[in-house]
Structure 1
Amino acid sequence: MNNSSYNGEEFCNITYNHGVMPLVTVYSLVLAIGAPANLLTLCLSVLKIWKKNVLSVYLFTLSLSDLLYMGTIPQWILYVRNHNRWTQSDTACQLTGFIFFNNLYISILLLCCISVDRCLVVLHPIESQWRRRRKTAVMICVGVWLLVMVTHLPVFFLSGVKSGKAKNDTCFETIPMPRLVAMFNYARFCVGFCIPLFILAATNLLIFRRIRASPCLNLREKMKVKYLAIAIIFIFLCCFAPYHIILLSRAIIFSLYKETCWFEEKIYTASTLFLCFCTINSAINPILYMFSCGSVRQELKRDFQSIRDRVTGRSNRSETYILRNGQTLSVYRMEQVTSEN
């Protein structure tokens, strides 16, 4: 790889010819699995929101963001098949890249919101029933969207995400990176990855400790909570850690060396692969947070049972309550906490 210049601007002659089919396969699978899964999650969330379920507000927003991103996956497939050459307009590149990175960090922040919300339910089961409000959850989700979008605006529209002729017609891959992007990468690693990872780890640890000490749950239910907490952290690390480590390393090299093309050449293939890993999270979220949730399956059964009872003229039996450790908890409530956490 040689360094070149275009109108006095230095750029790196990087070509991508490795792993085209694996990337196309991953993007295609994410679209094929994630689109219907998120669409179903969206519908289920609406039904649960109608029943005043606060957690479903976050799940609805997460699925909406994932579906919006999946509408751009065909663009990424064409981009990869064309060996990372963008053949469409600059505006299309900016919009596609803007949607992708917005979804990336909206998803990360919403995953934190979901974990915090579940932690509150487990640690304060009685108080959370009247302190948690759908209106508050909606405001938090709107705030997350606005925060991420406003933060990314200057990076995408001031740093030239469409590299043009001088940079091999790539899209959003500014190589070598402008100073603004390099500084932003430090913030993305710390605020967009490290802090959310700490929140996810801390909240899931608190959830597991409280559930493990609960006399209302059997060993099987406690192990389910443990493995779900491990799965959440493991998937988060697999999907987001490699890409953010690449971001940090690029920023560090930019800060230490004046010429960085030698490094960009070495990590370009890995960077493209790890960027693809981030998209897998969009297909996994519905399976992890909705379809693995026992209470969702129970509620669907009750809904069908309710419809059948109305047809046959029968009425459902009211929920029973038990007294444990001086606190009044519904049996269904404890089952819901277990299955949703």
Structure 2
Amino acid sequence: MHEPTTIQTSLAATNLTTGSTPEPSCVLNYENDRVPLVVLYSVVLVIGVPANIVTVYLTFLQVLRKNVLGIYLLSLSMCDLMYLCTLPMWADYVNTAHRWRWSPMACKVTGYFFFNNMYISILLLCCISSDRYVAVVYALESRGVRRQKLAVGVTLTIVLVVFLGHTPVFTMPEGDVQEGRCFEPGQSTPTVTGFNYARFLIGFFVPLVILVVTNRGILVNVQASTGLRPCQKKRVRYLAYGVVFLFLGCFAPYHLILLVRAVTFHIPKLQKTCHFEQSIYTPYTISLGLSTFNSAINPILYVLSSDNIRKELRRAFTRIRWLTTLQPRSTDSSQHRMHNSKNSSEVVVAAREVEKQVC
């Protein structure tokens, strides 16, 4: 059994990412989000961890082959894996009625990597779309610009800036696990409000504009091309729409709530209303959990949409099929040769079938 479904909110519990403070008599319901979040975190872990492990391997092969886009894809997969590693602790936290069972430093480190990797992932998505846009729209002009060293430099800059931007997490009292809480929504201050505005603008709105502009440019140029087959154009169209809609579905609810909390800081009467805090708390926690879904879908949407990655998968599947069908059990040399010949024929047929499935 869990703790009672309502727990007193402390004025001392302040969230790094959120706004208003409930009155001391305001009681929040921590049971409403328990089942949805635990289920969501579990599904994301089951899908995301193996998918990202596979894509780390596949994209690493592309990096070895001097593929520029592979740098961003590998970084994104590694970032998503780090992000997913924090989910078991958050799932346990939610399942035990929002009571942090570990040390304050564990709370700060977990929160640090959780939010760091969220925004590193968002910025890397922008890099991937921008790189694809340059490669498609400026194919000739970009040959001397799209280099792995530049991609590595951009990635390291993003990681460094985001990591430095979140270092105040380790000095903030909100991560000290007061009354068992770890970075819960709490008191609104000018600093927290400024963070909320910055997160909405830099962490959501600007990346959204970049994704829309770049994917629209890719879509227009590809659809106008006469050298691509209809199936290839359809795949590009689905990817362009999928990128934007996935971004909106995963990150828009959370950042819109951050914006609402920031705006309410300028409306004292609304800010101090317990009903407002009670009504927005569960949507906030659910929207934050929903943002993790992006880490499970990224490998499918981005990595598997790459022609080079699909070729790596076809090679891997062909090798696996060849190894599983090759059974040299007979000592008769002629039978052994016939068996190998049969296996080789099956491999060729299988490879051809896979090639047909590209479109």
TM-score bracket, normalised by the shorter chain, equals 0.7 to 0.9
**What is the Cα deviation at residue 22 of structure 1?**
2.1
1:328 corresponds in structure 2 to none
CA distance in 2: counterparts of 1:73 and 1:141, whole angstroms:
24
**What is the Cα deviation at residue 171 of structure 1?**
1.2
**What is the Cα deviation at residue 141 of structure 1?**
0.6
1:276-287 to structure 2, matched below 5 A, reads: 276-287=289-300
1:53-132 to structure 2, matched below 5 A, reads: 53-132=67-146
**What is the Cα deviation at residue 177 of structure 1?**
3.1
Is 1:257–2:268 an aligned residue pair?
yes
2:182 corresponds in structure 1 to 171
Equivalent residue for 2:59, pick from 32, 37, 45? 45
The answer (yes or no) to whether the contact 1:175–1:264 under 8 Å persists in 2 is no
**What is the Cα deviation at residue 243 of structure 1?**
0.2
* Cα RMSD, aligned residues only: 2.6
The structure with higher relative contact order (CA 8 Å, sep 6+) is: 2
1:238 to 1:210, Cα distance in 2 relative to 1, 3 A: same
5+ long unaligned stretches in structure 1: 313-338
1:212 to 1:260, Cα distance in 2 relative to 1, 3 A: same
Is 1:140–2:154 an aligned residue pair?
yes
The alignment's TM-score, normalised by the length of structure 2, stands at 0.79
**What is the Cα deviation at residue 153 of structure 1?**
1.6
2:174 corresponds in structure 1 to 161
When structure 1 is superposed on structure 2, of 143-152 and 253-262 the one drifting more is: 253-262
When structure 1 is superposed on structure 2, of 271-280 and 176-185 the one drifting more is: 176-185
Whose radius of gyration is greater, 1 or 2? 2
Q: Given residue 247 of structure 1, which amino acid in structure 2 is its aligned partner?
A: L
1:12-23 to structure 2, matched below 5 A, reads: 13-23=27-37
Superposed CA offset, 1:1-55 (max 9, x none): 988767xx97554341113122111101111110111111111111000000010
1:206 corresponds in structure 2 to 217
1:189 corresponds in structure 2 to 200
Q: Given residue 230 of structure 1, which amino acid in structure 2 is its aligned partner?
A: Y
When structure 1 is superposed on structure 2, of 220-229 and 256-265 the one drifting more is: 256-265
CA distance in 2: counterparts of 1:193 and 1:4, whole angstroms:
30
User: SS of the counterpart of 1:14?
Assistant: strand
1:81 to 1:303, Cα distance in 2 relative to 1, 3 A: closer
CA distance in 1: counterparts of 2:123 and 2:135, whole angstroms:
19
Superposed CA offset, 1:223-261 (max 9, x none): 221111111100000000000001010111122216535
When structure 1 is superposed on structure 2, of 86-95 and 241-250 the one drifting more is: 86-95
**What is the Cα deviation at residue 103 of structure 1?**
0.9
The alignment's TM-score, normalised by the length of structure 1, stands at 0.83
**What is the Cα deviation at residue 91 of structure 1?**
0.7
2:304 corresponds in structure 1 to 291
**What is the Cα deviation at residue 129 of structure 1?**
3.0
Equivalent residue for 2:249, pick from 223, 238, 243? 238
5+ long unaligned stretches in structure 2: 1-5, 13-20, 323-339, 341-357
Superposed CA offset, 1:121-157 (max 9, x none): 1012233233211111011111111111111122x23
Q: How many residues align?
A: 306
